[in-house]
Amino acid sequence: MGVAMSLGGIWWYLERNYTYQGVLIEPPATAPEFSLKDQHGDLFELSQQKGKVVLLFFGYTNCPDVCPITLSEFKKIKGILGERADQVDFVFITVDPERDTPGRIREYLANFDPTFIGLSGDHHELETVWSDYGVYQEHDDVHVSTEYLVDHSSRVYAINKQGQWRLNYPFSMEPERIAQDVIQLLKQD
């Protein structure tokens, strides 16, 4: 009985003293609420995702590098999580609403995982979300065609099951490390 209690105490101690791999937001902050349309035309409200971990990424479908790499990493994270992935929403929010229609986002995400959630809206709606999350986005105003690049933030944001913004990840953090953190967030009530 003493051994079982000791082992249980060690497990509790290890769980409680987990060191997160990302940049921890301490104390946790309530994640800014938003409502945007997904790639199927349905309304996605962040507040309705309580009980799930949400990984957010801001990007665009014509991105040549950061976005496809990050979405490929999301796919790896989902694979690492296995059955637990059902408790995680992988969310892509556009920084290029002029070109990223719901149909275009649906096609783009199908290249990675059709269950990923892709959100868009009008420029005004998105500006509020970008501002709330400290997202930088800018494209050159002198473009004369649809062929332009958008400079944008490349962080991934982790929202816990209680709707709190808990972690940020820099571009190209190893998917295994993010998955470890997500597993830890899923264990918390």
Mean pLDDT of the chain: 88
CATH architecture for segment(s) 20-139+146-187 = 3-Layer(aba) Sandwich (3.40)
**What is the SS3 assignment for 12?**
helix
Backbone angles phi, psi at 148, to 5 degrees: -145, 160
∠ CA 183-188-189, nearest 5°, is 140
Q: Which of 161, 185, 176 is nearest to 24 (CA)?
A: 185
What is the C-alpha to C-alpha distance for residues 94 and 80, in angstroms, rounded to an integer? 25
* Domain extent listing, the chain: 20-139+146-187
Q: According to the model, what pLDDT value does residue 152 have? A: 65
Mean pLDDT of the region 85-96: 96
* pLDDT higher than threshold 50 for residue 7: no
> How does pLDDT run across 133-184, given as a tens digit for each residue?
988 777 765 555 567 777 668 899 999 999 999 999 999 899 999 999 999 9
Tokens representing residue 41 in the block = 């035309």
Taking only the tens place, the pLDDT of each residue in 38-73 is 999 999 999 999 999 999 999 999 988 999 999 999
For residue 27, is the peptide bond before it cis, meaning its omega torsion is within 30 degrees of 0? yes
**What value does the mean pLDDT take over residues 81-101?**
95
Q: Which helix (H) or strand (E) holds 169?
A: strand 164-169
The pLDDT tens digits of the residues spanning 17-36 come to: 789 999 999 999 999 999 99
